[in-house]
A and B are shown apart, each in its own frame.
Chain A
Amino acid sequence: MELFKKTLSPVAAMAIIAVLNIFLFQIVGAWTVGGGETMMTGLIAQMFLGDSLSRIPFWNVAFPPDPGYWKIYISLGMLFGAVVGAVLSKEFNWHMPHRLSEWVMITIGGLLMGIGIRLAFVCNVSTFYGLTPEMNLGGYLATSGILAGAWVGTWIYKKSLEG
């Protein structure tokens, strides 16, 4: 199948995703990832902490763990779709960063993403493919924030390469 032999144009891919996202917006809500990841965090924490998790107000008031939260399944679907795409195009292979500096950057980056999502209540997907197209004030705030953050991150990234 041609799809698994050639790289698809990103413009075409994102245009298709955008059209599907409009239908999703009509049925359950716009494409988002951060909310599902937060719920997964709660469910994983519940596996380790059991009922004592509810003593932490965030998981009791703001985000009670619920496996029926639809946003979780967007993330799981993306993982599934990517596995299918990678396997059928013979691009699946286990590989990992080799340098300690890369592991450190990824670790700090992951932590900042997690903290940022929870602080803002949104992620980059909600920002670009949800809030801003809905003309939500938060979309403009979030876009300003992510552009400023990406600029700072790029500066750090560049310095680390030069170093």
Chain B
Amino acid sequence: MNVIAQCLIAFVFGSVAGLLVQRSRYCNVAALRDAMLFKTYRNTKALLIAMMILTMGFTAFITVGAGKPLYFDVGLNTFIGLFLFGIGMVLAGACTVSTWVKAGEGNVGAIWALLFTFIGMFLFSLLWSFTYWPPAPNTMTGDFNLAGLQLGFANAATLQEKTKIPAVVFGAVQTLVLYGLYRAILRRERAGAGADTQADSESAACNAWADNDKAVPQGAARVTAEQST
């Protein structure tokens, strides 16, 4: 497929995703933060449903050797990088998706977060140029490498290759685990353990500085009011 077609498909996908995220007020930050802070799970449930669908879909394609999985080694850098990212997204009140979506709604705070994400990337590029760690994708071997703090590469395809069990079977197991989490959330909501499901009609606010005008679950409403000016 030529480059223009790839870019066009990516743009169409992004447009639909941006529209749906904007209209649903879905937010990845809220999926984690609100579950931890307010015990509300509106976004967490959506995240789990998406992951269940994707796990079955991706592993089904991988089983027959189709699809284009991400292919690069992972290691300590993967954990530390996402640890820093996790702190950052909660502080910024937006993740990679919501910065673009909120920017599209005219939120200057989101544009600022995006700008500093770019600056953070550039600063890290200077550090990488000095340390060359983590290794560049073309120098990763796919094997365990203690010196480079790399664990190598493994996914549903390598599992299938090593065990001769179809990847989709492993996918079904992972989906069941995710479904178990989903059911646990539903049970918790039914028990009314701190969650206000009635307030689910609107997001728990992706970030306090972004959605002060939206109806939010009770716990979140108190905080957003405090943040609001």
- A residues lining the B interface (CB < 8 Å): 3-4, 7-22, 24-34, 37-38, 40-42, 44-45, 56-59, 61-63, 68, 70-86, 89, 91-99, 102-103, 105-138, 141-154, 156-158, 161
Q: How many A-B residue pairs have CB under 8 A?
A: 522
CA distance A38 to B122 in the complex (A): 8
| Complex contact B82–A82 (CB within 8 A) | no
Bound: A139/B10 CA distance, A = 22
**Which residues from A are CB-within-8-Å of B208?**
102
The complex places the Cα of A77 from the Cα of B97 at a distance, in Å, of 11
Residue with the highest number of chain A CB atoms closer than 10 Å, among B62, B77, B229: B77
Interface size class of B (residues with CB under 8 A): 35 or more
| Among A13, A28, A102, A141, contact of B20 (Cβ-Cβ < 8 Å) | A13
Assuming A93-B106, A96-B108, A137-B153, is B83 touching A19 (CB within 8 A)?
A: no
Query: Which residue from chain A places its CB closest to the CB of B86 in the assembled complex?
Result: A149
Closest to B34 in A: A154
Rounded to whole angstroms, the CA-CA distance of A150 and B108 in the bound complex is 23
Q: Which A residues lie within 8 Å of B72 (CB)?
A: 121, 138
Other-chain contact of A124, B10, B58, B85 (Cβ < 8 Å): B85
Determine the chain B residues whose CB is within 8 A of the CB of A14 once the complex forms: 20, 24, 26, 46-47, 49-50
State whether B156 touches A79 (Cβ < 8 A).
Answer: no
Select which of A10, A11, A26, A141 is within 8 A of B74 by beta carbon.
A141
Chain A contacts of B229 at CB under 8 A? Answer: 98-99
Q: Are B7 and A70 in contact (CB-based, < 8 A)?
A: yes
User: B-side interface residues toward A, CB under 8 Å?
Assistant: 1, 3-4, 6-26, 28-29, 32-33, 36-37, 42-43, 45-47, 49-51, 53-55, 57-59, 61-62, 66-70, 72, 74-75, 77-97, 99-109, 112-126, 128-129, 132, 134, 136-138, 151-156, 159, 167, 170-171, 174, 201-203, 208-209, 223, 226-227, 229
Q: How far is the CB of B219 from chain A (nearest CB, A)?
A: 11
**B115 lies within 8 A of A3 (CB):** no
Instruction: Output the nearest chain A residue to B54 by Cβ-Cβ distance.
Output: A133
Q: Contact: B124 with A119, CB < 8 Å?
A: yes
Closest to B73 in A: A138
A92 to B145, CA, bound (A): 50
Would A70 and B10 count as touching, CB distance under 8 A?
Answer: yes
- Could you write out 5 A-B pairs with CB less than 8 Å apart? A7-B201, A24-B13, A106-B109, A110-B99, A113-B113
Other-chain contact of A114, B25, B118, B223 (Cβ < 8 Å): B118
Given contacts A30-B70, A70-B3, contact A148 B83 (CB under 8 A): yes
The listed residue (B99, B121, B134, B167) touching A115 by CB distance below 8 A is B121
Distance A97 CA – B99 CA, assembled complex (angstroms): 14
10 closest A-B pairs by CB: A149-B86, A77-B14, A114-B120, A120-B81, A109-B92, A82-B104, A81-B18, A110-B116, A153-B90, A112-B88
Given contacts A96-B109, A123-B85, A152-B86, whether A142 and B79 have CB atoms under 8 Å apart is: yes
Residues in B whose Cβ lies below 8 Å from that of A133: 51, 54-55, 57-59, 171, 174
Query: Which residues of the partner chain A approach B102 to less than 8 Å between Cβ atoms?
Result: 82
Q: With CB as the reference atom, state the residue of chain A lying closest to B201.
A: A7
**Are A110's CB and B88's CB within 8 A?**
yes
User: B70–A134 contact, CB under 8 A?
Assistant: yes
For B87, the chain A residues whose CB sits under 8 A away are 109, 112, 149-150, 152-153, 156
